[in-house]
Amino acid sequence: MAVTVRIPTTLRPMTGGASQVQVEGEILIDVINNLEAVHPGFKDRLLDESGELRKFVNLFVADDDVRYLAGLQTPVPAGETVSIIPAVAGG
């Protein structure tokens, strides 16, 4: 069963303008890998050179920040929503 990934406006050109896409995956890293397979370029935007989540990107499974869960190993139940939220900075 697929999960829904919400795409922020800045990354929508990579999905042909879609604000949401459906991909498979039981844990978050599987979702990212499958998102990359369908829409190349996402992995570089979400993960750093060591394969860890970039500091300026927040990922949520349902309403929970994965940094406070199991990170990239966070389970993603079928039918759940993963949200990509770019960090906002300012002064």
What distance in Å separates the CA atoms of residue 57 and residue 46, rounded to the nearest whole number? 6
Please check the confidence at residue 24 and state whether its pLDDT lies above 80: yes
pTM: 0.94
Please check the confidence at residue 90 and state whether its pLDDT lies above 80: no
- What's the CA dihedral at 12, 14, 18, 22 to 10 degrees? -120
Domain boundaries, the chain: 3-86
| pLDDT, tens digit, 9 for 90 and up, residues 4-20 | 999 999 999 999 999 99
What distance in Å separates the CA atoms of residue 66 and residue 44, rounded to the nearest whole number? 18
Mean pLDDT of 74-80: 97
Neighbour tally for 13: CB within 10 Å: 11
Superfamily holding 3-86:
Beta-grasp domain (3.10.20.30)
Please check the confidence at residue 91 and state whether its pLDDT lies above 90: no
| pLDDT, tens digit, 9 for 90 and up, residues 39-71 | 999 999 999 999 999 999 999 999 999 999 999
CA 76 to chain centre: 11
